[in-house]
Amino acid sequence: MSKSAPESPAPTSQHGTVCIVASKYNATYTDALVASASETLAKLAPALEVRVIRVPGAFEIPVVVEAVASGEVQPLAIIALGVIIRGSTAHADLIAASITRSLADTGVSHLVPVIHEVLLVENADQAEARTLGDELNRGREAAEAAVAMIEVMASLD
């Protein structure tokens, strides 16, 4: 896996909503992802409204993403945030695969960018590096990807 993210996008003046759907599970890490994504969106897209919806666990993220994408007023992008720490069974892999498939299906079927940062990690050290650190912060990267995709989608109209 690459450790170098694309350059941060230029700030956008687009108006609308970005929805963050985040798990409450593994709160130390998911709270940090939400905070980082929100801070980055405030810097790069100050005209956007950020709506945060919290769900119990990672498996519940896709149904809420689908509901948001199907809503009367569709957001410009949806960011899915969660942390799954792999255990000694296949449960985490099954959950992660289901989430990935569902998020991709929603984005394609509703033509709304769905940014997938539901992380599957081996241990707490990997979770910490990707959520609490500055170098690989996936919350920041999710917000940057959302802003970039909002601009791409706007250019298609």
DSSP 45-112: -TTEEEEEEEESSGGGHHHHHHHHHTSSS--SEEEEEEEEE--SSSHHHHHHHHHHHHHHHHHHHHT-
Residue 4 lies in a domain: no
Total number of domains constituting the chain: 1
Could you give the CA distance from residue 42 to residue 81 in angstroms, rounded to a whole number? Answer: 17
**Whole-number pLDDT of residue 5:** 62
CATH number at residue 37: 3.40.50.960
Would residue 10 count as lying in a domain?
no
Per-residue tens of pLDDT for the chain, all 157 residues: 456 666 777 777 788 999 999 999 999 999 999 999 999 999 999 999 999 999 999 999 999 999 999 999 999 999 999 999 998 788 899 999 999 999 999 999 999 999 999 999 999 999 999 999 788 899 999 999 999 999 999 999 6
Residue 5 lies in a domain: no
In angstroms, the CA 29 to CA 115 distance is 17
Please give the Cα distance from 119 to 1 (Å, whole number): 13
Catalytic residue (one of 15, 91, 110, 116): 91
Q: Is 15 a catalytic residue?
A: no
Within 13 Å, how many C-alpha atoms sit on residue 25's CB side?
15
Q: What angle do CA 41, 44, 48 make, to 5 degrees?
A: 60
pLDDT of residue 88: 74
Q: Does residue 1 lie in a domain region?
A: no
In a domain, 114, yes or no: yes
3-state helix, strand, coil in the chain (%, to 5): 50, 20, 30
Nearest 5°: the CA angle 30, 32, 38 is 105
| Domain range enclosing 28 | 16-156
Q: Is residue 25 part of a domain?
A: yes
